[in-house]
Structure 1
């Protein structure tokens, strides 16, 4: 039996972890410290609380909150009640979040008010539960509803090629099999101390973080907001051994105060289209890490490729490794990366047309990324077919950003492209044709009030016109 084969579902994994790891620390969040036994107990009682609210098998509940112990208990409690988890990006503003919550068909919305000085409201008529104020968590009688490997576990929304978020449906079995393998590739061990900077609303934090920690018996240390001083403090005080994140995280560590004791760090995990070879060298020579894994994944399939221990610096820096077991990767004629395997999504929620467009009759998922394969089967990502760019680890879609900017009364035309940035990897640059008076600083400030921070262009260039094709499409290559 494979490692993942011992668990029928994620709730089964939570209870099994309590039996295997008992009084070892499962979660450390500030002063709160939960053992695996205590976590499983809270999860069962939270499942009972969901059931008392009328949440049954297959019902969806949205979770719009930062990384915290409460997020962990709420998410696994919901799954244990038989529900389907719908994580919501905490960077989203109200209109963006409400669109996802409504389209998901959620029966309730869980929030953490006060985070980033914000009040998280729900769409009209939807019950809203504050994780820290309403006394909901762990308030019910213990409950554990059995789920099977083919049952839907979560719907994680991700922007499609047009920029509108689509709900990716994934089962318990898919997640358990893939992230048991991820543990092997990353070198995650029992007793590891795992500082979770990656947000739980993203599969990097939720699945490669929380699920992986339960599989191996690692301690999860959730961090709500990235702050390098706080990271250094926690690494030193809690003896953190595992610290995944985007390349910007390691840039920050290398530039930070070297007086801190970081000697406990062992495992780094990152991923990007192109990581400078010098950064890879510095991560493994100037920081204590002895293992650095790079990889490629997407919400529609999870982690698809990964580097292997012993791969040379050049390969780790310029490729995203070889396919994980159970995956096939090939290139279309236009070099688009195609992926097939057991972990490819069950489809987009309520969108059969988009599903058929993304996954062909033979099971090949069109990723939208352009790539190359080297002689040893390693994948190199060379661009985004639909112009997506990555801002500090978050996917930004020009079409969506352009749609927001066109709502400004002084904007007549706009095109957004990703441009290099030393700290964030890439940021947005907007090329704007004005219909009224507006300055660069005014437009950037306005954008910050209407969309999530990572989507806001950092640069604006005003033009009298945009280069267009004969059919009226903007020639973005010329703008770049």
Structure 2
């Protein structure tokens, strides 16, 4: 079999190339690349013994840890496609992903952020369940991996603007293609130590995190949740050199009163994006944190790494653009102003949704991103607006249509419109404009927020609710969300 472009082959190659290199550090757990490889093969054998075969799906709902890395790579080595689940999802959201992906196995945290996720999944529980840490045993062994480069490697679910989540499917070859491009632009080497704060369930943490580190031979240091003091401690004690994350992470570190008490001089490169990045922030990251290289990038679940800056780009370029095409992508701007992408590393399509796939990828192979942008004379991309209504809260995409569908199920709500409004800490948060029904006049802001808390991940929940008599519409009946921003004094 030709396995030169598969995730198991990539791990095996790094283990052979770096026999004494440190691969993974998580508290007392410290593994070399060969040790990590052996544990991954042991976990692959465990999956196989329980009937998981090539082409099956394995879901993971757990925080960043060494368990996640081994379970994910083990599932891949067993020939299964990985289905990461957002740890902030509610029970209904988790059940939806597990059911629609037809996951035959689930790796799940016993308790994270005070939630018993296995209990919330209920009757959607797959036949094979591995609880972390209750059922976890560190296994080693041998396993004869049989995976092809064009086999399905992962299904990453992302909410669509229609309000229904969509599973973006990607092959081993394409997943490694974007991970390798990210590693190359970031300049990852075996001397690097990579603190992965971005959640592993997100492409930024999984593909630009775990897999980029595997390809670069860089040490993976997971952090379950961002805590600025703990982050600074890890940078100091583990001599972290690579620190990607949303702009808010760097802003918090720069402004933290204990920053001067920690030695952060090992930091070499940072990669940020997912929100507007002020030029002064880039300058401070370089001057105050001592970073040699600060990069911004642009991507989406369907493409992951589409553009990325280069080492040596000036602060204005880094802050105001997303860099030039990466991972073999072509980038062009449609007549409508929409950013279009084409290349060898786009998704294969949406799971069980040929209509959405055809809408996203046209007959000429161009992926329609829904973002508006401009290309300068250097070929650097600048995102100017969002054609779709999506906004970004704390580095996570939020699709108002999904929130609006949840609000529609609340008795007393006739209709609603959700928009993103500026927030100093999270970049943007949701504001919901709600029209009450005649029998819903007693409906309060607390009622709406409580309903959202029960049905939506925290980053999707509106932070503010305003009741209005009617939503502004154009002649065709479409809601004019820009008027809500003006009426709400959120527009510039």
TM-score range, shorter chain: over 0.9
Q: What is the rounded CA distance, in whole Å, between the counterparts of 2:468 and 2:17 in structure 1? A: 63
Aligned to 1:361: 363
Q: What is the rounded CA distance, in whole Å, between the counterparts of 1:331 and 1:101 in structure 2? A: 36
Aligned to 2:20: 23
Indicate conservation of the 8 Å contact 2:194/2:242, yes or no: yes
Aligned to 1:293: 295
Long gaps (5+) in structure 1 = none
Q: Which of 308, 311, 314 in structure 1 is aligned with 2:310?
A: 308
SS at match of 1:458: strand
Q: What whole-Å deviation, never above 9, does each CA across 1:43-78 have from its counterpart, x for those lacking one?
A: 001000000010111111111111110000000001
Matches within 5 A, 1:311-330: 311-330=313-332
Report deviation, 1:263.
0.8
Indicate conservation of the 8 Å contact 2:21/2:190, yes or no: no
Aligned to 1:187: 187
Alignment of 1:338 with 2:343, yes or no, is no
Give the TM-score taking structure 2 as reference length: 0.93
Matches within 5 A, 1:403-442: 403-434=405-436, 435-442=440-447
SS at match of 2:271: strand
Aligned to 2:474: 469
Q: What is the rounded CA distance, in whole Å, between the counterparts of 1:254 and 1:396 in structure 2? A: 27
Q: What is the rounded CA distance, in whole Å, between the counterparts of 1:394 and 1:282 in structure 2? A: 24
Alignment of 1:88 with 2:90, yes or no, is no
Indicate conservation of the 8 Å contact 2:196/2:243, yes or no: yes
Q: Which of 9, 13, 31 in structure 2 is aligned with 1:12?
A: 9
Report deviation, 1:123.
4.8
Report deviation, 1:94.
0.7
Aligned to 1:145: 145
Report deviation, 1:301.
1.1
Alignment of 1:69 with 2:66, yes or no, is yes
Q: What is the rounded CA distance, in whole Å, between the counterparts of 1:319 and 1:441 in structure 2? A: 40
Query: Does the C-alpha gap of structure 1 residues 135 and 281 become closer, same or farther in structure 2, counting only changes over 3 Å?
Result: closer
Long gaps (5+) in structure 2 = 486-492
Report deviation, 1:177.
2.5
Report deviation, 1:449.
2.5
Aligned to 2:102: 105
Question: Over the residues paired in the alignment, what is the CA RMSD in angstroms?
Answer: 1.6
SS at match of 2:342: strand
SS at match of 1:438: coil
Report deviation, 1:431.
1.0
Indicate conservation of the 8 Å contact 1:65/1:90, yes or no: yes
Q: What is the rounded CA distance, in whole Å, between the counterparts of 1:386 and 1:277 in structure 2? A: 26
SS at match of 1:92: coil
Report deviation, 1:267.
0.6
Q: What is the rounded CA distance, in whole Å, between the counterparts of 2:100 and 2:303 in structure 1? A: 21
Q: What is the rounded CA distance, in whole Å, between the counterparts of 1:323 and 1:332 in structure 2? A: 16
Query: Does the C-alpha gap of structure 1 residues 137 and 366 become closer, same or farther in structure 2, counting only changes over 3 Å?
Result: farther
Q: What is the rounded CA distance, in whole Å, between the counterparts of 2:442 and 2:218 in structure 1? A: 55
Indicate conservation of the 8 Å contact 1:294/1:321, yes or no: yes
Aligned to 1:268: 270
Q: What is the rounded CA distance, in whole Å, between the counterparts of 1:325 and 1:411 in structure 2? A: 45
SS at match of 1:357: helix
SS at match of 2:249: helix
Query: Does the C-alpha gap of structure 1 residues 444 and 474 become closer, same or farther in structure 2, counting only changes over 3 Å?
Result: same
SS at match of 1:115: coil
Aligned to 1:36: 33
Q: What is the rounded CA distance, in whole Å, between the counterparts of 1:259 and 1:439 in structure 2? A: 46
Indicate conservation of the 8 Å contact 1:273/1:381, yes or no: no
Report deviation, 1:146.
2.6
Aligned to 2:400: 398
Q: What whole-Å deviation, never above 9, does each CA across 1:185-239 have from its counterpart, x for those lacking one?
A: 1121212111100011111100111111111111111111111111111111111
Aligned to 1:236: 236
Matches within 5 A, 1:222-233: 222-233=222-233
Q: What whole-Å deviation, never above 9, does each CA across 1:273-323 have from its counterpart, x for those lacking one?
A: 531111111111111111011010111112000111222211111110111
Indicate conservation of the 8 Å contact 1:327/1:342, yes or no: yes
Q: What whole-Å deviation, never above 9, does each CA across 1:380-425 have from its counterpart, x for those lacking one?
A: 1111111100011100000001111222223222110011111111
Aligned to 1:218: 218
Which segment is superposed worse, 222-231 or 401-410?
401-410
Query: Does the C-alpha gap of structure 1 residues 202 and 333 become closer, same or farther in structure 2, counting only changes over 3 Å?
Result: same
Which segment is superposed worse, 107-116 or 265-274?
265-274
Which segment is superposed worse, 117-126 or 62-71?
117-126
Q: What is the rounded CA distance, in whole Å, between the counterparts of 2:323 and 2:136 in structure 1? A: 45
Aligned to 1:116: 113
Q: What is the rounded CA distance, in whole Å, between the counterparts of 1:176 and 1:451 in structure 2? A: 32
Q: What whole-Å deviation, never above 9, does each CA across 1:241-274 have from its counterpart, x for those lacking one?
A: 1110001111111111222111111110011353
Q: What is the rounded CA distance, in whole Å, between the counterparts of 2:166 and 2:241 in structure 1? A: 35
Q: What is the rounded CA distance, in whole Å, between the counterparts of 1:290 and 1:135 in structure 2? A: 40
After the TM superposition, which segments of 4 or more aligned residues of structure 1 sit over 6 Å from their partners? none
Indicate conservation of the 8 Å contact 1:49/1:136, yes or no: no
Q: What is the rounded CA distance, in whole Å, between the counterparts of 1:427 and 1:146 in structure 2? A: 45
